[in-house]
Chain A
Amino acid sequence: MMEIIKVGMADLNVTGYPNALTTLGLGSCVGVCIYDTKTKIIGMIHIMLPYSWGVKNNTNPAKFADTGIPLLIEKMEELGAAKKNMLAKLAGGAQMFEVTRSEFMNIGKRNVEAAKKVLQEQNIPIVAEDTGGNYGRTIIFYSEDGRLEIKTIGKGTKTI
């Protein structure tokens, strides 16, 4: 029986075949999805902010791209995944409101950039992404083949 496991905001989870991982209603946050093509072990993290440095209260590593993504990889390795077989997909990073007051506010874009940088440092190729825009996304990540299903309100469903 396939199980669909939820990943909350500022949270991460890993699982193996035949399960799937999901996170609901991603806005400016970014869902980073990694899968191991050999073992079919998958991992998902719902990051809220790009970097942990300079943030006073950073007790939750899963909140940030810089601390969360390496932790996600570690958790996958504990299950038996190998970094050399890992591929990544990204979704989210929307700008929900047109706020122009400061650069900080385009947090969605900054989250995507940070996730890409961290994945590059970890030598994990990004094979697909569905990021940006001004709408929310629900994502489901399948261990079976690493496909990522993206649902929106009024903009349909797609798979990357």
Chain B
Amino acid sequence: MNLSNNEMNEMYLDVLKELGNIGTGNAVSALAMMIGRKINMKVPVVKMVKLQEVPEILGGAEIPVVGILLNVEGDIEGFIMFVMSQSSAHLLVNMLLGTTLNGYSEFTDIEKSALMEIGNILAGAYLTALSTLTGFKMIQSVPQLAEDMAGAILSFPAIQFGETGDTALYIETEIFEESNRIVADFFLIPTIESYQKMLKALGVA
């Protein structure tokens, strides 16, 4: 089958939506177990966005955000990245550590490791889903965290996608716990070779 890039992206998107759903389910169980309380996660929004619009996702290129990045190795190679606003990151920290941190202050080392642990859990959830769908084995690295302007943080996934096209794929995840609403953007960034491999395994190409 000879498909154009766009057609391929559309089909890939459908498969990734499914992946998002399964991954979210996995993540909910893991997070709820970790904090010992009931939480809800909303079915994520999966979108293809133009590179120029990427920094606008979080409300503007200069908005301070938190980015968590993990390497993926094994049958599929690439990166996983989570980006959230500082307020969402603060809510997550509160949820995990039982604190009531308000407003902007720099994260302490403990808070940073709590956030990176969330990255670990979420990445694990999505990779397990992907592994179930494709049969591929994947190993995630220790996460890294950066706090900076949205545009600067998002330049990382944007550049990786820039190699394959002019659009980026992102999955929006919403986590609810009582009245708290946390929004995290999830980027799955396979290398070009792994992208092809994944499409094939998912029955798209």
Which residue numbers of A lie inside 8 Å of B, CB to CB? Answer: 8-11, 24-29, 48-49, 55-57, 59-60, 63, 94, 96-99, 101, 107, 134-138, 153
Query: Which chain B residue shows the least CB distance to A57?
Result: B165
Asked whether, in the complex, the Cβ of B166 is within 8 Å of the Cβ of A59, the reply is yes
With a cutoff of 8 Å between Cβ atoms, the chain A residues found around residue B148 in the complex are 25, 27, 96, 135-136, 153
Asked whether, in the complex, the Cβ of A48 is within 8 Å of the Cβ of B51, the reply is yes
Which residue numbers of B lie inside 8 Å of A, CB to CB? Answer: 5, 51-52, 54-55, 60-62, 64, 67, 69, 71, 73, 79, 144, 146-156, 158-159, 162-166, 192
Given contacts A24-B149, A136-B151, A153-B149, are A11 and B64 in contact (CB under 8 A)?
no
Q: How far is the CA of A107 from the CA of B149 in the complex (A)?
A: 18
Query: Which chain B residue shows the least CB distance to A24?
Result: B61
Q: How far is the CA of A28 from the CA of B157 in the complex (A)?
A: 10
Q: How far is the CA of A153 from the CA of B64 in the complex (A)?
A: 8
With a cutoff of 8 Å between Cβ atoms, the chain B residues found around residue A48 in the complex are 51, 155, 158-159, 162
Task: Give the 5 A-B residue pairs with the shortest CB-CB distance, closest first.
Answer: A25-B151, A136-B152, A27-B152, A27-B155, A25-B61
Q: How far is the CA of A99 from the CA of B162 in the complex (A)?
A: 18
Q: How far is the CA of A145 from the CA of B7 in the complex (A)?
A: 48
With a cutoff of 8 Å between Cβ atoms, the chain A residues found around residue B52 in the complex are 8-11
Further pairs besides A24-B62, A25-B155, A27-B151: 16, Cβ < 8 Å: A24-B55, A25-B149, A25-B154, A26-B155, A27-B149, A48-B155, A60-B166, A63-B166, A96-B146, A97-B144, A99-B144, A136-B149, A136-B151, A136-B152, A138-B61, A153-B148
Most buried by A among B61, B62, B147, B153: B61
With beta carbons under 8 angstroms apart, the residue of A57, A59, A134 that contacts B146 is A134
Query: Which chain A residue shows the least CB distance to B106?
Result: A154
* CB-defined A-B contacts under 8 Å, sample of 10: A26-B152, A26-B155, A28-B155, A49-B162, A63-B162, A99-B79, A101-B71, A138-B149, A153-B64, A153-B149
Asked whether, in the complex, the Cβ of A56 is within 8 Å of the Cβ of B153, the reply is no
Most buried by B among A10, A27, A29, A138: A27
Q: How far is the CA of A9 from the CA of B55 in the complex (A)?
A: 8
With a cutoff of 8 Å between Cβ atoms, the chain B residues found around residue A138 in the complex are 61-62, 149, 151
With a cutoff of 8 Å between Cβ atoms, the chain B residues found around residue A27 in the complex are 148-149, 151-156
With beta carbons under 8 angstroms apart, the residue of A94, A98, A99 that contacts B152 is A94
Asked whether, in the complex, the Cβ of B155 is within 8 Å of the Cβ of A9, the reply is yes
Q: How far is the CA of A157 from the CA of B154 in the complex (A)?
A: 21
With a cutoff of 8 Å between Cβ atoms, the chain B residues found around residue A57 in the complex are 5, 164-166
Asked whether, in the complex, the Cβ of B60 is within 8 Å of the Cβ of A24, the reply is yes
With beta carbons under 8 angstroms apart, the residue of A26, A99, A153 that contacts B71 is A99
With a cutoff of 8 Å between Cβ atoms, the chain B residues found around residue A28 in the complex are 152, 155-156, 159
With a cutoff of 8 Å between Cβ atoms, the chain A residues found around residue B149 in the complex are 24-25, 27, 136, 138, 153
With a cutoff of 8 Å between Cβ atoms, the chain A residues found around residue B61 in the complex are 24-25, 138
Asked whether, in the complex, the Cβ of B69 is within 8 Å of the Cβ of A99, the reply is yes
Q: How far is the CA of A137 from the CA of B162 in the complex (A)?
A: 20
Query: Which chain A residue shows the least CB distance to B68?
Result: A97
Asked whether, in the complex, the Cβ of B51 is within 8 Å of the Cβ of A10, the reply is yes
